[in-house]
Structure 1
């Protein structure tokens, strides 16, 4: 490995949530993945063995908690406990996707705050720090009693669209629902565009557009792309409101069925997503483009280990980590 990181006081491990991404993150950092074994007994019980010494080592565990979500979290909790019992100096948890982050408040009576429960379990298991990507709401950081670094995907998407010349007066950045305005405003500032909002009733698949999109090329922004229905409905409403073309980007492509069919039939030219979540190729819509978040996360891990500022990673410049 040409960019081998020489510091032997750090080791990186991966679980099964998104192994291809973990390998790319480790490569961006300059390390090979450490050796560990994850076994599952016939009844579903998970067993983990760390196959090299981590005594006194700063360890990083990469685990995307995409489908199957609950298995992914159990793997992670058991691995954290194994690291702690093996006398690792620090146990840094790297979560490209933080599942349960949508459940961050009691929207209705008698509901749990599951995002807080997950935070409690990670801390109690022995995690000393968390690095994650585009939390559903930044307030989830406050659920932890350990340091949390939440990276943003908007600089990555801005870089993608700027390279294609998709900026300026011909474009408008759109929030496909009224809860994602801050994310939309961030990308609009990067691309020097106006912004619009689709206020939609997802149950009825109806709504209306707030803002001028007539003759414009629209870029919709969201954090999670699950079934694709939010994007599909918003794209139809934008075209009905006079938009010229519709594009979309999302941080986490969960792609729960029937996302492939819904998105391929939607009036969307291109959907740009990161590789934070792993899904099989057959679930990927033909109009989807993947960009990697590995260099960004690898650089963040290096900055955490070296105690250098994280702030440069929250802006479009520099581009060396993209």
Structure 2
């Protein structure tokens, strides 16, 4: 059944692509990715893909624009090489944080990227924990989004004792945290702050005193929101604070903030390669998404239900 699958890797996360192939018993597809002297991206597919079910594994993380353009060119090259279907496997979907027009004269970048991928000829999208559910509706092709609570399901099941409180670090993350709380039958608390200013103190809505706290979110970027939530829970009497965040974007200074915070550890995934960037490295733990992406790819290839994996 898998003999017509071809998996190719962009530059953003080749190790993850190799791990996916290892889980499926396949070899990574051969292609050339380089730069011309003026910086333009050069892409060549080095094997026959005519009639194949092709998958391109590429997170659109830093450098975002380079990785996005590389993905578009890989999709275009495979379509022009007569692949029967091309699926973009985008573990981390960059530009997702602007998914609505929340002020005048701003772009909806998540929709713009969807338009670019559609124009390049992609037939399907597979992603992990999209920042907002409506992003799936920006595409005219099927989108399989793997929920964050399922990505961490095994790890959470191993560490949760039944005494924890699941915490949403802000109002926007309540829906994600509530799913985790309901799945494991744990109470939910929310960090509320009137405004992100030096004189506005975050308030914990819910009871965390004397209990371990698990802060759940889809990504950690600057680390400020995560650390602020951790500090608020700690000051309210939480006995331990850990974070579960799917995408380790980790901009400059994030690991230093995490290192100086009350967080005991932060569990992330390999949707973005975790590089050593600061003193908070010791607190970081990584869970791989390769096995679950491999299962989704197999289901998509077979034309079987993907959603049954998450029920």
Is the counterpart of residue 38 in structure 1 residue 26 in structure 2?
no
Distance 2:153 2:182 in 1: 9
Mean Cα deviation higher: 21-30 or 138-147: 21-30
**Of 223, 229, 235, which residue of structure 2 is paired with 1:234?**
229
Distance 1:109 1:199 in 2: 26
User: How many correspondences in the alignment?
Assistant: 308
Who is 2:303 aligned against? 307
Who is 2:272 aligned against? 277
| Structure 1 position 311, deviation (Å) | 2.1
Distance 1:72 1:93 in 2: 12
Is the counterpart of residue 202 in structure 1 residue 196 in structure 2?
yes
Name the SS for the 1:206 alignment partner.
coil
Is the counterpart of residue 7 in structure 1 residue 2 in structure 2?
yes
**Of 283, 286, 291, which residue of structure 2 is paired with 1:287?**
283
| Structure 1 position 263, deviation (Å) | 0.4
**Of 114, 118, 121, which residue of structure 2 is paired with 1:119?**
114
**Of 2, 24, 28, which residue of structure 2 is paired with 1:29?**
24
Is the counterpart of residue 193 in structure 1 residue 189 in structure 2?
no
- Structure 2: 5+ residue stretches without partners: none
**Of 277, 293, 296, which residue of structure 1 is paired with 2:292?**
296
Distance 1:184 1:37 in 2: 41
Residue by residue over 1:270-307, the C-alpha shift from the partner in whole angstroms, topping out at 9 and shown as x without a partner, is 11111110132345621111011110001000000011
- What is the root-mean-square deviation of aligned Cα atoms in Å? 1.3
Residue by residue over 1:126-173, the C-alpha shift from the partner in whole angstroms, topping out at 9 and shown as x without a partner, is 101000010001110000000111111212323212212x231x2100
- Structure 1 runs (4+) deviating above 4 angstroms are none
Is the counterpart of residue 174 in structure 1 residue 167 in structure 2?
yes
| Structure 1 position 191, deviation (Å) | 2.2
Residue by residue over 1:175-224, the C-alpha shift from the partner in whole angstroms, topping out at 9 and shown as x without a partner, is 01111111101111222210000013334373111111111110001101
| Structure 1 contact 172–217 (Cα < 8 Å) conserved | yes
- Structure 1: 5+ residue stretches without partners: 1-5, 316-322
Who is 2:177 aligned against? 184
The TM-score, its normalising length taken from structure 2, stands at 0.96
Name the SS for the 2:79 alignment partner.
helix
The TM-score, its normalising length taken from structure 1, stands at 0.92
